[in-house]
Structure 1
Amino acid sequence: MSTALTGAPPALPQQPHRPGPTDQLLHPDPAVAAEQAGVESLLRCWVRETGARPAADGQLLIPVLGGAARLAVPVRHWSPCGWHRFGQVTLLGADGRADAPVDAVTIAALVASAAAERPDPGRIADLAARVADSVVRTADVLAYRRRAQEPTDWPFLRAEQALLLGHPLHPTPKSRDGLGPAQSAAYSPELHGSFRLHWYAVDRELLAADSAAGLDADQLTGQLLGDPGLLPPGTAALPLHPWQARELALRPAVAELLAAGRLRDLGPQGEPWHPTSSVRTVCRPGTPWMLKLSLGLRITNSRRENLRKELHRGVEVHRLLESGLGAQWRAAHPGFDIVRDPAWIGVDLPGLGDPNGLDAVLRQQPFGPDERVFCVAGLVAERPFERLDSQLGDVLRTLSARCGRPQRTVAAEWFLRYLDAMVLPVLWLDGRAGIALEAHQQNSLVLLDAAGWPVGGRYRDNQGYYFRDSHAARLDARLPGIGRASDTFVDDHVIDKHFAYYLAINHVLGLIGAFGSQGLADERVLLAALRRFLAGPDAAATGSALPGLLLGSPTLHCKANLLTRLNGMDELVGPVAGQSVYVDIPNPLAAP
């Protein structure tokens, strides 16, 4: 679904970053800080999806209640890339007088009514409830993290656990429908959760699995279970998230299989596993595998149960890369690769449907304990403690001290090296192979050297591959039958828009926005650097059309998380072109 904004005013120049003691994100009461975080994420969505801009006095005014009142929002930092910072919101009556400060739930209801063409009370109430849930969970996270010590020195896991406030441009970034307080403590990465997996023994007549050459999915899960004596003869080990296991036992089709002994409940087994930033993907230090488990919770917009086409897609991409494409890619960009999903295991029974809630992905875990690898979303995630900061800030300060150069100079160089290490390889795969990656920040991992400079990266996510229709014949020649089971081929025009959103808007412009909102660099300087990169010979050599689109289009097609939520859409359901609402936003890379 797409909504184009017409007549949106041009982007304003960046206003200076204005941190200070009045920043409500730094309030000592976690509930106040969480409330502010919820307000700001909502308002960023509103600004992006409506084209709203502040007045000359630096205040954003939002008409609500059919124009009978306005929300008055002081602007602390105006970001060309969308990572704005706001002060405390008040409601102005028809006479222009300020009323009391307004909380996140009230703002959600007011802006939702203003945003919808035909306000739906049920959907507005649902949004308000999820905003409330998100704020409460954020308060719990901040209360815990402001007193807790980091339990791990493993950089990968620390970055996975760092998304304290969640997606900065989502109206309900920490909403997790159906997760109680005790479960949240065990299953949430931000709360340093850990838990033992729940296991089923699956009758081999029901077993569904696939794996790349040299691997055996049920042999691998048997090894992860750890105790072969637990498996009855003729069965295979199936790992489950413990929340999912309780949910599945209540589903009639699964309950029948359990009662008939075709599924056998082995209960919690083994050593604890740790949730990553996606919540349902779990890792364990020293184990060469991660598991992407089905989880029927609605996290942000979607229920997170594995679809069969995604399972096929992960194995298919691994086989495609092993066919020779990976070697060509690494020859051009040796520091970048895909975190492979070369095996999956589940249950095959027509009555269970798709998704059936039982399928699990085996994902390679290639990172050693000393490798400095960071989920990009975790690297830039705000830490509102004594000051507003991030792991990125730590890296830049250390580099600045080591190099003896100003931090903003170091930041510009770091960003340019990042583009070479992380963006060029993704453009190459698109232009040369016809494979576009849904490379948003949470799906992207950056590798830093010992000093802190970007030297490589990884992409992960079996949901986020798009094969271009224009490359169908060449891809089929590499791997006959590719795309049939995985439903991965998409029209080039649709891919262009989605690729621009995920790689350019969410990832790179989001990174620039983090630099600016945290006072680490001037966004205008980094935007100029990005323009030079996109216009340069290295980007042109990739053959991708994205650089030209970014430099030549006055607007960009952008996912609208607030409108998607208001429309009750699950982003994992249906054709790619209609999974979310999109709007056209001013392109900050257009000629200044």
Structure 2
Amino acid sequence: MNDSAKIIAENATFQAFFNSYIREAGTGHYIRTEDWIIENRSSILLDGPYIIELELLQQDIRIAIEVNYLSKVGRHVLGAALKYCQKGKQWYREEKLTLMMTLIQELHLITNSNSDHDLASHYDELILRLIGSYQTMKRYIEARMEDSQTLYSENSSFIETEQSLLFGHWFHPTPKSRQGMSYWQHKSFAPELAGSFQLHYFQVDSSMIKEECILSTESASDLLKTALIHSSPTLHIPKEAFIIPMHPLQAQWLLQQDHVKDAMNKGLIKSLGTLGKNYTATSSLRTVYRADEEYMLKFSIPVKVTNSLRVNQQHELKAGVVIARLWRKLSFNEYYPAFQMIDDPGYVTVDFPNQKESGFEVIIRSNPFPSGRDEGISSIAAIVQDPLPNQQSRLYHLILKVVKRDHLSIEEVSMKWFENYWCCAVEPLIRLYDEYGIALEAHQQNSVLDVSEGYPKTYFYRDNQGYYLSEHHKQVLCQMEPSLLEAPELFYENSLIQERFTYYLVMNQLFSVIYRFGADGLISEATLLEWSLDKLKMLEGELVGQGKQFVSSLLNEEKLSYKANLLTRLHDVDELTAKLEQAIYTKIDNPFLPLQKEEKCAKVISYTY
């Protein structure tokens, strides 16, 4: 009998929250379960090999969590939750939701007791998002419990994998937080429920249109109009009309805004309602897709997803076009054809006087996965996501597919898969930073792999909010593409780039793949870390630019930068509106360092014989 959706959602929420807590709060000590049972004279049945015990000093509370899988890269699989009863002098099982509230209270009290802390505690907002995320996850799981073939199949299409992220971002304590969406709206607009919907269209006076497009054949507005006509051939649209599509959630918001109402009263904007064929949301919720369209569309929506209200900002519109121009001038793809950029070649918005963003901002994104080329395309997030109980992950199915086809061992296929993954999804990104000073926010959801042949073949990067250009390369890059001078916010100091690049590429993406292999029992994390370490050492010797310093830090630093999503949520920081779009960062132990020390010890021992 399957676990209920409630129990599964509660457990998945706890996995995400508690892993965030121990990484960011930096507390707790590990002990072997058999030693812990003897020490505490406990009769509770525990199967996991380890226990992590924490003392919450602010509340004088002790808790212990069973660890069913201890990860070297920091994402443990957790079991029973226990709390110590002072009165009875014994441990007992605790409800996981209740325990999460206790941990939030501890963070709140720590923040309030620290007079030097310049960020306030918004623990009530964190609790609201935690419960909202849990309830949303429960609903999605309930709807998709019997859909394992689509959720984890190695042959799923691009949009099927985009709709498969039931648990969401496992580096985040509230992975399915979606404030601003009503209960009834999820059925149509949430990708996890495989819904589809028509776009809402506005006709806008030409005097208010602001647009840019690098395509030589059509303007951005013409491209959008052509797409609508293609989906509704009988629809009559005046030749001179400017038509802008909008996500229905955003359209509802826009129709309530005074500046839009005023323009409508003046006849400058006209609401045409929902038109055309249906689109489907991708995993980001606000980018929409049709298999028969050449472009995806990325909208603002009045929804807070994980950390931020999802708004297309003016500088992002410009950045997408500028980077698309720059990318066409780089020769990088000639040398690294397995690495591809999904660019944003155009945008359209409605310009209002004295208003930075009007809410009408639409980003046009290339669609490399049309019908016929969309099979076996998956984000890394979908490949590494934990499966439902009694199921296997998409990575597991991919490996078994090749094992059966090529008659090789699981470990042989796993090692080759990881090598191919590294060659298209990790090394090219480091070399891009080294050669051109361009780092990408290449986390697991922004990273898409072509695994149609079983092994990773091509890596696709997507996200016009995630470009970091080094100030050190500014002169050369601006000479190559002068329009970069119009986007100064794209350039960052190398110290900040290194911090973010470490988190997004290594912590979030690379380590998630290593974890999944280990947790699935395909190949050990230690084997993959050692192989990665050797590759990084080789790269350190070959690189000559910013990438060399980046790799050197991965090899030698005691601690690595980590994006503290739990603390970002506790302090209610919206990273898209914060200075430098900066979330809260912390440091966690570098898993490469123990391997380095082991190698040194082995060499010393070998010299003594």
TM-score, structure 2 normalization:
0.88
Classify the secondary structure of the residue corresponding to 1:269: strand
**Is 1:54 aligned to residue 30 of structure 2?**
yes
CA distance in 2, matches of 1:244, 1:433: 37
Classify the secondary structure of the residue corresponding to 2:102: helix
Q: 1:93 aligns to what? A: 85
Q: 2:306 aligns to what? A: 300
User: Where do residues 520-559 of structure 1 align in structure 2 (5 Å cutoff)?
Assistant: 520-537=522-539, 540-541=542-543, 543=545, 544-545=547-548, 546-559=550-563
Structure 1 counterpart of 2:573, from 556, 559, 569: 569
What amino acid is the match of 2:111? R
- 1:374 deviates by 1.4
Q: 2:73 aligns to what? A: 81
Classify the secondary structure of the residue corresponding to 2:54: strand
User: Where do residues 507-518 of structure 1 align in structure 2 (5 Å cutoff)?
Assistant: 507-518=509-520
Structure 1 counterpart of 2:408, from 405, 409, 434: 405
What amino acid is the match of 1:376? I
Structure 2 counterpart of 1:458, from 460, 485, 508: 460
- 8 A Cα contact 1:159 1:375, kept in partner: yes
Q: Which runs of 5+ in 2 are unaligned?
A: 34-49, 113-118, 596-609
- 1:60 deviates by 1.6
Cα deviation digits, residues 63-112 of structure 1 (max 9, x gap): 237242222211111111122111121322224423452232x3333212
- 1:56 deviates by 3.3
Q: 2:254 aligns to what? A: 248
**Is 1:134 aligned to residue 133 of structure 2?**
yes
- 8 A Cα contact 2:345 2:364, kept in partner: yes
Q: 2:335 aligns to what? A: 332
Cα deviation digits, residues 107-157 of structure 1 (max 9, x gap): 333212323432499721211111111111111111111134749976211
Structure 1 counterpart of 2:4, from 13, 25, 29: 29
Q: 2:607 aligns to what? A: none
Classify the secondary structure of the residue corresponding to 1:384: coil
**Is 1:437 aligned to residue 479 of structure 2?**
no
- 1:541 deviates by 4.2
User: Where do residues 449-488 of structure 1 align in structure 2 (5 Å cutoff)?
Assistant: 449-450=452-453, 452-485=454-487, 487-488=489-490
Alignment CA distance shift 1:349-1:513 (3 Å): same
Please identify, of 311-320 and 420-429, the stretch whose mean Cα deviation from structure 2 is larger: 420-429
Classify the secondary structure of the residue corresponding to 2:569: helix
Classify the secondary structure of the residue corresponding to 2:416: helix
Alignment CA distance shift 1:417-1:207 (3 Å): same
CA distance in 1, matches of 2:366, 2:135: 34
Alignment CA distance shift 1:537-1:587 (3 Å): closer
Cα deviation digits, residues 299-331 of structure 1 (max 9, x gap): 1110101001111111001111222x0xx1112
**Is 1:115 aligned to residue 107 of structure 2?**
yes
Classify the secondary structure of the residue corresponding to 2:528: helix
- 8 A Cα contact 2:322 2:483, kept in partner: no
What amino acid is the match of 1:78? L
Cα deviation digits, residues 263-318 of structure 1 (max 9, x gap): 11111111110111101001001111100111120011101010011111110011
- 8 A Cα contact 1:65 1:110, kept in partner: no
Classify the secondary structure of the residue corresponding to 1:536: helix
Alignment CA distance shift 1:562-1:519 (3 Å): same
Structure 2 counterpart of 1:590, from 585, 590, 593: 593
Alignment CA distance shift 1:230-1:91 (3 Å): farther
Alignment CA distance shift 1:565-1:128 (3 Å): same
Q: 1:282 aligns to what? A: 288
- 8 A Cα contact 2:340 2:460, kept in partner: yes
Structure 1 counterpart of 2:399, from 388, 396, 402: 396
Cα deviation digits, residues 137-180 of structure 1 (max 9, x gap): 11111111113474997621122112110111211000100212
- 8 A Cα contact 1:311 1:344, kept in partner: yes
Alignment CA distance shift 1:124-1:335 (3 Å): same
What amino acid is the match of 2:174? T
User: Where do residues 114-193 of structure 1 align in structure 2 (5 Å cutoff)?
Assistant: 114-116=106-108, 117-119=110-112, 123-148=122-147, 150=150, 155-193=157-195
Please identify, of 405-414 and 106-115, the stretch whose mean Cα deviation from structure 2 is larger: 106-115
- 8 A Cα contact 1:241 1:280, kept in partner: yes
What amino acid is the match of 2:82? T
What amino acid is the match of 1:514? R
User: Where do residues 354-433 of structure 1 align in structure 2 (5 Å cutoff)?
Assistant: 354=357, 356-368=358-370, 369-370=372-373, 371-387=375-391, 389-433=392-436
CA distance in 1, matches of 2:588, 2:540: 27
What amino acid is the match of 1:195? F
- 8 A Cα contact 2:539 2:551, kept in partner: no
Alignment CA distance shift 1:530-1:483 (3 Å): farther
Please identify, of 517-526 and 237-246, the stretch whose mean Cα deviation from structure 2 is larger: 517-526
What amino acid is the match of 1:392? L
Runs of 4+ in 1 over 3 A off after TM superposition: 119-122, 148-154, 227-235
CA distance in 1, matches of 2:494, 2:449: 28
CA distance in 1, matches of 2:105, 2:175: 20
What amino acid is the match of 1:575? K
- 8 A Cα contact 1:201 1:231, kept in partner: no
- 1:367 deviates by 1.9
Please identify, of 82-91 and 468-477, the stretch whose mean Cα deviation from structure 2 is larger: 82-91
Q: 1:269 aligns to what? A: 275
CA distance in 1, matches of 2:141, 2:590: 34
Percent identity among equivalent residues? 30
- 8 A Cα contact 2:31 2:51, kept in partner: yes
**Is 1:495 aligned to residue 497 of structure 2?**
yes
What amino acid is the match of 1:102? E
Q: 2:605 aligns to what? A: none
Q: Which runs of 5+ in 1 are unaligned?
A: 1-25
What amino acid is the match of 1:286? D
Q: What is the aligned residue count?
A: 559
Q: 2:227 aligns to what? A: 224
Q: 1:17 aligns to what? A: none
Classify the secondary structure of the residue corresponding to 2:14: helix
CA distance in 2, matches of 1:504, 1:100: 35
Q: 1:317 aligns to what? A: 323
CA distance in 1, matches of 2:211, 2:162: 28
Alignment CA distance shift 1:525-1:483 (3 Å): farther
- 8 A Cα contact 2:121 2:570, kept in partner: no
- Aligned-CA RMSD value: 2.1
Alignment CA distance shift 1:338-1:538 (3 Å): farther
Please identify, of 212-221 and 61-70, the stretch whose mean Cα deviation from structure 2 is larger: 61-70
What amino acid is the match of 1:49? E
User: Whose radius of gyration is greater, 1 or 2?
Assistant: 2
- 8 A Cα contact 1:539 1:547, kept in partner: no
- 1:235 deviates by 3.2
CA distance in 1, matches of 2:483, 2:336: 27
Please identify, of 419-428 and 271-280, the stretch whose mean Cα deviation from structure 2 is larger: 419-428
Alignment CA distance shift 1:243-1:126 (3 Å): same
TM-score, structure 1 normalization:
0.90
**Is 1:200 aligned to residue 202 of structure 2?**
yes
- 1:351 deviates by 4.2
Classify the secondary structure of the residue corresponding to 1:144: helix
- 8 A Cα contact 1:162 1:379, kept in partner: no
Classify the secondary structure of the residue corresponding to 2:445: helix
